[in-house]
Amino acid sequence: MKLSRYKREVSAALAYVALLLAVGAAAPTFFGAGNLRDLALNNAPVLLVAVGMTLVILVGEIDISVGSQFAVCSVAAGWMAKEGVPVVALLPLVLLLGALMGALNGALVGYLRLPSIIVTLAMLVAWRDALRWVTQGEWVQNLPPNFQWFGLGQTLAQWLIVGVALGVLVAFSWMLRNLGAGRAVYATGSDAEAARLAGIEPRRVVFGVFVLMGALTGLAALLNAVRFSAVPSNAGIGLELKAVAAVVVGGAAITGGRGTLIGTLIGAALLGTIGTALTFVGINPFWEKAIQGAIILAALVSDVALGHFERMRVGGLTLKTAGAAK
């Protein structure tokens, strides 16, 4: 009975298991430790952004500027490192930078009530081109040696990155379920006016969620940047699509109010695995995007179909109790 509330999550999980089984049968080497580690590491930044995106979508908004914010934070992290900012100070500074960009979105959407899709579309272009102008397209090179892998060495840092991503996911998942603020997020996304009448301040909730989105994007950018010897100025292109897709495939309603972070984890895993899986099975990885698109559509269609089923089932349920009451 409880599981029935998480139908979408369960069906995404089943699809993921089916994918793993199929790949496992066709190419058992897929499950090699090295490959799994690479998969986790490559998808950790996307997962972090998808956590923020889940919050944004739960309140009924969207943020398509995350890719550009990600690039700004990546380059800023590189610059600061080169300027001699100690590695421990990088984290709060990059988080703050991300949060500020998020706060700008949040103020425009939450307080000025501008449509988030347009606001963040403008930001997507504005941050990206501002960065291009400032960097003149140049990558940040000659980073100090303690920048890469935080100076911790590759093995330890890899665990750290994956661990932080999963830890953030678990922490936010707990907060959404167990804190009043989490309730406020769901209430705002379900019916902002009803939430307001219950004493919640939807504007503040929307603002806060965008700030978190920005901070998580900053975190993702930093964890991603330390993996390489140079920071590209065009990082994060298409990141918004990956994040939104993970959230939607994970069962969240794009209209807000419904979804879980466990679903987002499954969605990110499913979409993040497809490309590598294709390579292992010997299919041209050019198909990756097409298949991802098909999965997103399938998720939306099954949503509608399940909705129909749900209404029928609930109708039956009410009838039954009405009879029992007599």
Residues engaged in binding another protein (CB under 8 A): 174-175, 177-180, 183, 186-187, 190-191, 193-201, 257-258, 314, 317-318, 320-321, 325
Q: Report the nearest approach of another protein to the CB of residue 139 (Å).
A: 44
Q: Report the nearest approach of another protein to the CB of residue 304 (Å).
A: 16
- CB nearer to another protein: pick between 94 and 187: 187
Q: Report the nearest approach of another protein to the CB of residue 195 (Å).
A: 7
CB atoms within 10 A of CB 170: 14
Closest alpha carbon to 163 in 221, 223, 235, 213: 223
- CB nearer to another protein: pick between 42 and 190: 190
- Whether the Cβ atoms of residue 45 and residue 224 lie closer than 8 Å to each other: yes
Q: What's the first-to-final CA gap in the chain, in angstroms?
A: 25
- CB nearer to another protein: pick between 31 and 174: 174
User: What are the tokens at 47?
Assistant: 């997962």
Q: Report the nearest approach of another protein to the CB of residue 175 (Å).
A: 8
- CB nearer to another protein: pick between 91 and 175: 175
Look up tokens 């069962």; give the residue. 251
Which residue(s) pair with 140 in the sheet? Answer: 231
| Residue 32 CB contacts under 8 Å (≥ 6 apart), including other chains | none
- CB nearer to another protein: pick between 177 and 289: 177
Measured CA distances, 258 to 174, 206, 253, 286 (Å): 16, 15, 5, 33
- Whether the Cβ atoms of residue 216 and residue 52 lie closer than 8 Å to each other: yes
Q: Report the nearest approach of another protein to the CB of residue 220 (Å).
A: 26
